[in-house]
Amino acid sequence: MPGPVVNVNPTTCTTNPPGEVHAPGKSQNGFVVFNTTEPCTILFSGFGVFKRSSAQLSMGSNRLDVETEDDHTLVTIAGCGDKVPRSVGAAGNPTDIIVP
């Protein structure tokens, strides 16, 4: 099963899609691909999904392997805490990666 894709734009401080993104567990070789418009660091609200609290991403496609069978984590972009866009759903519906 291919992993989901999350688009990350640090210029606009957005991740897409918003809301729930489901990824397969570690036993199914689960992963998430983060496509970024420029190099940035993303932060995870929980440590369990990727066994890390953040990841430095290069511009383009970045694959992170899932390291658990059952957990979830919200994804935010470092440096965007005070620049969350006011567009509908942007602040209230961040990307939430859910395993399985």
C-alpha span between 32 and 85 (Å, rounded) = 24
Number of domains into which the chain is organized: 1
Structural contact between residues 42 and 76, judged by C-beta atoms closer than 8 angstroms: yes
- Asked whether residue 38 is assigned to any structural domain, the reply reads yes
pLDDT digits (tens, 9 = 90+) for 73-88: 999 999 987 665 555 4
- Asked whether residue 88 is assigned to any structural domain, the reply reads no
Q: What is the pLDDT of residue 28?
A: 95
Question: What mean pLDDT comes out for the span 36-61?
Answer: 97
Look up the domain containing 32 and give its range: 5-82+95-99
C-alpha span between 67 and 87 (Å, rounded) = 33
Band of the pLDDT at 94, cuts 50, 70, 90? confident
**One-letter identity of residue 19:** G
Q: What share of the chain is helix, strand, coil (3-state, %, to 5)?
A: 5, 45, 50
- Asked whether residue 89 is assigned to any structural domain, the reply reads no
